[in-house]
């Protein structure tokens, strides 16, 4: 395979993430301004259930990326196996849909329509896995087209036809199909090989490795159901979903490190890692600051009803930044693991490897998080009926339990990579971010009037966002030589493409 350009692929993915973030916000505005809080909470629950099933997909996608990056021809086997798996689990989804619909009062037909999200999500996922090991930048392009297709589809199905949750489901499913087409175009060379049973046998034999992380993922996803059952509040889930929408704005910053994993799998050195992790901090600090500053106007834009959830957003923003680092550290530690390159590796060898050890640490963290959350919610519901109080507690527990994990992962990174943290540059970014945040918040309080009319409200908010981002970029450009070099490289790449 061709040599993966980490910074180029990362910046393309980052650009795709920014565009998808913008279109995603517009999509969310359409949804939250059209659906009732109860309907929006129900949509959040449906996404959570679909997420449970997607967690078994790594049985195939996990190994596919590693094999494609090492130039093994498992593409067609991966695609065919994934399609079969997605249809095989549909009966289980129907059973769960019946149960949850009866418990929550959600229309059965809506849950059944959500079935179409399973095969489309699975096929999109396996094509992403192939491209991640082959052409990581292709995922950025598919993300762009996914986001761009969501807006007109949402306007048609949700806004004009007033199809409610059913319209949202159709919008997401069709947008996935658009993404699938883009990903297939890029990955077609890797799917033209033969179906080989030996790959499938290996994946099934060692399926416990990629399924192991699903244990803590399922536990994490179950917190939504846990909160619903203990509090009995769908409105609380609506607040939480709205808060997560804003906190998820931080996620695109992690895309600058998307190509780190396949690059490490290529085993062509680690010299790029220090600069890439610094780039992750550069954008991560900026995005986290923006979420915190614009928590109130962001929630108000989604729906004035959600404005009360500002404390939840602030806490989740900090937690989201730590998760960003945790995921990057985990990816790097798994990327340098070579146990699966040896044909004689036994289950015992896998148990001793990073493929198992790193996920064990995350499982321990998640178990602690869920137990503390359940106990706390049971106690708190005896003393308060306030959804916001319960959600603030939930967010605090998520943050506190994340700190030990990210700290230990950072220690492991220092042991396995030479001087991975450029603390001087990271400190510069942090200081500039604090100064920018104080100034932008002051202007926000002085000039923003909270009016339900989005045409009057959003332009002023967007101007302040542009102002804050501009201050950060210009300031770091002035004080940091490597940032100046990065900007010059980006401009040079654009000119070269022309």
Contacting residues for 265 by C-beta, under 8 A, at least 6 apart? 65, 66, 69, 70, 133, 335
Max mean pLDDT among 24-28, 97-101, 136-140, 187-191 falls in 187-191
Residue 375 CA to its chain's centroid (Å): 28
Residue 362 CA to its chain's centroid (Å): 17
3-state secondary structure of 20: helix
Question: pLDDT digit string (tens) for 271-297?
Answer: 778 888 998 999 999 999 999 999 999
Own/partner contacts of 408-412, CB < 8 Å, gap of 24 or more, are: 408/361, 409/325, 409/326, 409/329, 409/330, 409/333, 409/358, 409/361, 410/325, 410/329, 412/329, 412/333
Whether pLDDT at 377 is above 50: yes
Mean pLDDT lowest for which of 211-215, 360-364, 458-462? 211-215
Percentage with pLDDT > 90 across the chain: 27
Mean pLDDT to the nearest integer, 108-118: 83
Max mean pLDDT among 34-48, 207-221, 227-241, 354-368 falls in 354-368
Q: Report the pLDDT value the prediction gives residue 234, as an integer from 0 to 100.
A: 77
For residue 326, give the nearest of 290, 287, 289, 280 by alpha carbon: 280
Overall size of the chain counted in residues: 498
Whether pLDDT at 60 is above 70: yes
Diameter of the chain by CA atoms?
Answer: 67
Angle at 302 between CA 165 and CA 157, to 5 degrees: 30
Compare 448 and 340 and report the one with higher pLDDT.
448
Compare 349 and 1 and report the one with higher pLDDT.
349
For residue 186, give the nearest of 225, 235, 144, 220 by alpha carbon: 144
Question: pLDDT digit string (tens) for 194-253?
Answer: 888 888 888 888 888 888 877 887 788 788 888 888 887 778 888 888 898 889 888 888
- Phi, psi at residue 193, to the nearest 5°? -85, -175
441: exposed, middle or buried (Cβ count in 10 Å: 0-12, 13-18, 19+):
middle
3-state secondary structure of 449: coil
Alpha helices in 114-196 (DSSP H): 117-134, 137-154, 165-187
Mean pLDDT lowest for which of 81-85, 172-176, 490-494? 490-494
Q: What's the pTM value of the predicted model, to 2 decimals? A: 0.76
490: exposed, middle or buried (Cβ count in 10 Å: 0-12, 13-18, 19+):
middle
- What span, in angstroms and rounded, lies between the C-alpha atoms of 296 and 292? 9
Whether pLDDT at 96 is above 50: yes
3-state secondary structure of 381: coil
Question: pLDDT digit string (tens) for 136-160?
Answer: 778 878 888 888 888 899 889 988 8
Whether pLDDT at 4 is above 60: no
- What span, in angstroms and rounded, lies between the C-alpha atoms of 141 and 165? 27
Contacting residues for 483 by C-beta, under 8 A, at least 6 apart? 282, 476, 477
Alpha helices in 55-89 (DSSP H): 58-69, 75-88
Mean pLDDT to the nearest integer, 421-427: 91
Whether pLDDT at 185 is above 60: yes
DSSP readout, 373-402?
HHHHHHHHTTT---HHHHHHHHHHHHHHHH
Alpha helices in 417-453 (DSSP H): 423-447
Q: Report the pLDDT value the prediction gives residue 352, as an integer from 0 to 100.
A: 84
Mean pLDDT lowest for which of 253-262, 371-380, 402-411? 253-262
Q: Report the pLDDT value the prediction gives residue 495, as an integer from 0 to 100.
A: 57
Average pLDDT of the residues of the chain: 84
Compare 50 and 454 and report the one with higher pLDDT.
50
Q: Report the pLDDT value the prediction gives residue 267, as an integer from 0 to 100.
A: 66
Question: pLDDT digit string (tens) for 61-74?
Answer: 888 888 887 788 88
Domain boundaries, the chain: 1-205, 207-498
Mean pLDDT to the nearest integer, 128-138: 83
The pLDDT confidence band at residue 1, using thresholds 50, 70 and 90, is very low
């Amino acid at each position: 395979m061709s040599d993966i350009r980490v910074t180029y692929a990362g910046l393309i993915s980052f650009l795709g993430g920014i565009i998808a973030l913008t279109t995603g916000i517009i999509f969310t505005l359409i949804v939250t301004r059209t659906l009732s809080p109860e309907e929006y909470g129900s949509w959040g629950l449906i996404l959570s259930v679909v997420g449970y099933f997607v967690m078994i997909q790594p049985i195939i996608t996990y190994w596919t990326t590693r094999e494609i990056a090492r130039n093994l021809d498992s593409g067609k086997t991966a695609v065919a196996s994934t399609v079969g798996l997605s249809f095989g689990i549909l009966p289980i989804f129907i059973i769960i849909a019946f149960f949850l619909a009866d418990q929550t009062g959600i229309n059965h037909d809506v849950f059944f329509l959500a079935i179409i999200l399973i095969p489309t999500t699975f096929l999109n996922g396996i094509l992403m896995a192939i491209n991640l090991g082959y052409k990581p930048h292709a995922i950025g392009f598919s993300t762009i087209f996914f986001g761009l297709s969501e807006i007109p589809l949402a306007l048609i199905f949700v806004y004009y036809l007033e199809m409610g949750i059913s319209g949202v489901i159709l919008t997401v499913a069709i947008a996935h199909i658009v993404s699938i087409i883009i990903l297939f175009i890029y990955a077609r060379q890797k799917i033209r090989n033969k179906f080989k049973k030996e790959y499938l046998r290996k994946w099934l034999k060692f399926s416990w490795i990629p399924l192991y992380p699903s244990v803590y993922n399922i536990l994490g996803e179950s917190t939504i159901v846990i909160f619903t059952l203990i509090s009995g509040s769908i409105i609380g889930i609506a607040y939480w979903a709205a808060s997560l929408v804003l906190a998820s704005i931080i996620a695109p910053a992690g895309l600058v490190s998307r190509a780190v994993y396949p690059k490490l799998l290529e085993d062509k050195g680690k010299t790029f890692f220090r600069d890439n992790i610094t780039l992750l901090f550069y954008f991560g600090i900026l995005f986290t600051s923006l979420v915190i500053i614009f928590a109130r106007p962001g929630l108000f834009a989604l729906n004035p009803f959600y404005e009360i959830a500002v404390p939840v957003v602030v806490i989740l923003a900090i937690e989201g930044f730590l998760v960003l680092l945790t995921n990057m550290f985990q990816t790097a530690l798994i990327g340098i693991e070579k146990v699966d390159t040896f044909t004689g590796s036994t289950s015992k060898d896998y148990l001793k490897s990073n493929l198992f050890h790193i996920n064990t640490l995350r499982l321990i963290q998640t178990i602690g998080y869920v137990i503390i959350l359940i106990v706390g919610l049971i106690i708190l519901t005896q003393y308060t009926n306030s959804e916001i109080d319960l959600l603030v507690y939930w967010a605090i527990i998520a943050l506190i339990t994340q700190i030990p994990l990210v700290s230990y992962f950072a220690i492991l990174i220092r042991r396995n990579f030479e001087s991975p943290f450029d603390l001087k540059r990271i400190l510069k970014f942090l200081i500039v971010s604090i100064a920018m945040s104080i100034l932008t918040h002051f202007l926000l309080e002085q000039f923003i009037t909270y009016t339900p009319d989005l045409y009057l409200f959003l332009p002023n908010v967007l101007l302040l966002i542009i102002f804050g981002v501009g201050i950060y970029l210009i300031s770091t450009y002035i004080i940091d030589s490597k940032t100046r070099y990065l900007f010059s490289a980006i401009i040079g790449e654009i000119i070269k493409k022309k």
